Amino acid sequence: MVTMDPSIEDIIVEPPEDGVIVDPIRWFESPGPFEIEIGCGKGGFLLARARANPGICLLGIEWANKYFRYAADRMARWKLTNVRVMRTDAKYFVIHHLPPACVSVLHVYHPDPWPKKRHHKRRLIQPDFVEAALRCLVPGGRWLIQSDHEEYFGAIRGLLDGQAGLSELAWENAAVATGEEWSGTNFEAKYAREGRTIHRVVYAVS
Ligand SMILES: C[S@@+](CC[C@H](N)C(=O)[O-])C[C@H]1O[C@@H](n2cnc3c(N)ncnc32)[C@H](O)[C@@H]1O
């Protein structure tokens, strides 16, 4: 248990072994609504979200070791006790290790678009992941997605719009994405500077 001034080791959660279904709230000092950011990169959004919402339990998942270490170190330096970071393939983790109805908010910002058609199978948001994500979200939960890649964003909407149990909310009406709390992600800032259009959607789970 983390008592004060967490070290990077306190922030990092090891990926579970095969066959294990985790109880994510046990990783945190105090229970609270459990949120996941997939592909948290350097952790810009993770940091802002955790700081603004001390009552939530937030897990950032990042595959790239360099960014994973950077994000975990950043959370420790900010002495955050309500955030954990895991290095793993988030798709595998969600499909194989999460229990049903445990995630209050799923954040997916600028998932790698894998633009070449022959690489589309590497994309995160595909039918098997969608099925697992919907199983893991709680009733009343939220799934927020943001992308700068028009074709991938269209494909995501094609999978999720009209999906039973999901309804779209206006981004500005989603409780997690309003006002000053929305600090954006590192890629969002970079793409905004380049003048790229940012596509966003938020779904509510019934
Ligand atoms: C384009 S970057 C966006 C980073 C961050 N979300 C942002 O908006 O600044 C995508 C990130 O997702 C990570 N990533 C891609 N696929 C992943 C997976 N299956 N599991 C975990 N992380 C993944 C990449 O390593 C990369 O850091």
Q: Model confidence at 178, in pLDDT bands (50, 70, 90)?
A: low
Compute how many other C-beta atoms are within 10 angstroms of the C-beta atom of residue 91. 20
d(Cα 102, Cα 85) in Å, to the nearest integer? 17
The pLDDT assigned to 1 comes to 47
Query: Does ligand 1 have an atom closer than 6 angstroms to the CB of 85?
Result: no
Compute how many other C-beta atoms are within 10 angstroms of the C-beta atom of residue 165. 11
Among this protein's residues, is 112 annotated catalytic?
yes
Burial 53-83, CB ≥16 within 10 A → b, else e: beebbbbbbbeeeebbebbbbbbbeeebbbb
Pocket test for ligand 1, best of 36, 87, 123, 124 (most atoms within 8 A of CB): 124
Query: Does ligand 1 have an atom closer than 6 angstroms to the CB of 93?
Result: no
Query: Does ligand 1 have an atom closer than 6 angstroms to the CB of 63?
Result: yes
- Which residue's CA is minimally distant from atom 3 of ligand 1? 110
Q: Model confidence at 2, in pLDDT bands (50, 70, 90)?
A: very low
- Least confident segment among 31-35, 88-92, 190-194: 190-194
Query: H or E segment at 195?
Result: none
Query: Does ligand 1 have an atom closer than 6 angstroms to the CB of 110?
Result: yes
| Of 161, 129, 172, the residue nearest 36 (C-alpha) | 129
d(Cα 67, Cα 42) in Å, to the nearest integer? 5
Task: Give distance in angstroms: CA of 94 to centre of ligand 1.
Answer: 15
Active-site residue (options: 112, 128, 148, 161): 112
pTM, two decimal places: 0.95
Percent pLDDT > 70 in the chain is: 94
- Which residue's CA is minimally distant from atom 24 of ligand 1? 39
Q: Domains plus CATH for the chain? A: 8-205 (3.40.50.150)
| Ligand 1 nearest atom to the CA of residue 64, by list position | 25
Task: Give distance in angstroms: CA of 3 to centre of ligand 1.
Answer: 30
Query: Is 148 a residue whose pLDDT tops 60?
Result: yes
Query: Does ligand 1 have an atom closer than 6 angstroms to the CB of 185?
Result: yes
Percent pLDDT > 90 in the chain is: 84
d(Cα 63, Cα 12) in Å, to the nearest integer? 13
Provide mean pLDDT across the span 91-115: 98
Query: Is 69 a residue whose pLDDT tops 50?
Result: yes
Query: Does ligand 1 have an atom closer than 6 angstroms to the CB of 168?
Result: no
The pLDDT assigned to 85 comes to 98
| Of 141, 73, 158, the residue nearest 107 (C-alpha) | 141
Residue with tokens 């229990």: 99
